Amino acid sequence: MAYTKPNILASGAAFADLQAGGASGHLELLIAAQAATLAPTVAAAWVNNGQTSGGALAAGTYYQVITETNGIGETTHGPVSTQITLTATYQPTITFQTLKTGNTARNVYLGLPSGANTGPFYLYATGITTATYTLAAAAPGGSYGATQPPSVNTTGLAFANSSGVEESTAVSLLRAAKQGNLEDVFKFYARAIANFTSGQPVSYMGIIEKLRHAHTVFAMLATMAAEAGTLVDANPGHFAATVSPIGVPAPTRAWP
């Protein structure tokens, strides 16, 4: 398993946007730029690749599905694979389609031995960035084994959950930070970590989702500062003299 950090897309802000909207307007442009990404559209091919020893999957027939992630969230799964038959110790290799725009990694969900092509499918591996992946490990149990592909695409900052209710935690935390309540973000993060490390019965995907929300907020704020730094560096302006309405000269910064 590998954690995927958020892939934050550039806001496209120009220096004029920074002048007109300030930090608040800049943040809103950054929020608007983080659109949901697409799920895989092609079933991932897989074969017995000649590695007939060393594998830990049980013998049987299998199906798999793939999701993609931009680190902010995860797509729904793509089409179901063809069936593959394994004897004990075989290690099949999956070949993936090219990642959809904005996505940076893939997750593999594996069906049960001799299970149906309709699932259920359970999380097998996360954070895969290579074009191929060999399934050498045993199917994970515990919290991982209980995790199935998301039923809705969560790669946008806001989305409707499986009950049709809008989820927009990251946006709420960003706007709290904008209003001077950056501590709300840290408290949200700290509470999630404390619940997990104290042994509270939180699901694997539950803690990952909360970490992604907090990570997304901090990553977006860092991106915003980096963009502003680049814009200021490219538009330094110059000092100029102005005269106040009562005739007092004063220095100011001006731009061409």
pLDDT, one tens digit per residue, over 11-22 is: 999 999 999 999
pLDDT computed for residue 38 by the predictor: 98
When the pLDDT of each residue in the chain is averaged and rounded to a whole number, the result is 94
**DSSP state string for 186-241:** HHHHHHHHHHHHTT----HHHHHHHHHHHHHHHHHHHHHHHHHHHHHHH---EEEE
CA distance linking residue 242 with residue 110, whole number of Å: 69
Which structure tokens are listed for 151? 């039923």
pLDDT-based confidence at residue 49 (cuts at 50, 70, 90): confident
What are phi and psi for residue 45, nearest 5 degrees?
-80, 150
Could you read off the pLDDT of 113-156 as tens digits, one per residue? 999 999 999 999 999 999 999 999 998 877 777 899 999 999 99
Look at the chain and count its residues.
256
pLDDT at 140: 80
pLDDT, tens digit (0-9, with 9 covering 90-100), for 179-205 = 999 999 999 999 999 999 999 998 888
Using N-to-C axis directions, what is the helix angle for 182-197 and 169-178, rounded to 10°? 140
Report the distance separating Cα 95 and Cα 106, nearest Å.
11
User: CA-CA distance, 27 to 39, in Å (whole number)?
Assistant: 27
How would residue 164 be classed by pLDDT, with cut points 50, 70 and 90? confident
Distance CA 227, CA 233 (A): 10
Q: Tokens for 27?
A: 């943040």
Q: What is the mean pLDDT of residues 236-245?
A: 88
pLDDT at 248 over 90: no
pLDDT at residue 244 tops 90:
no
DSSP secondary structure string for all residues of 105-127: EEEEEEEEEEEETTEEEEEEEEE
Q: What's the CA gap between 253 and 239, in Å, rounded? A: 5
pLDDT at 51 over 80: no
pLDDT of 207 higher than 90: yes
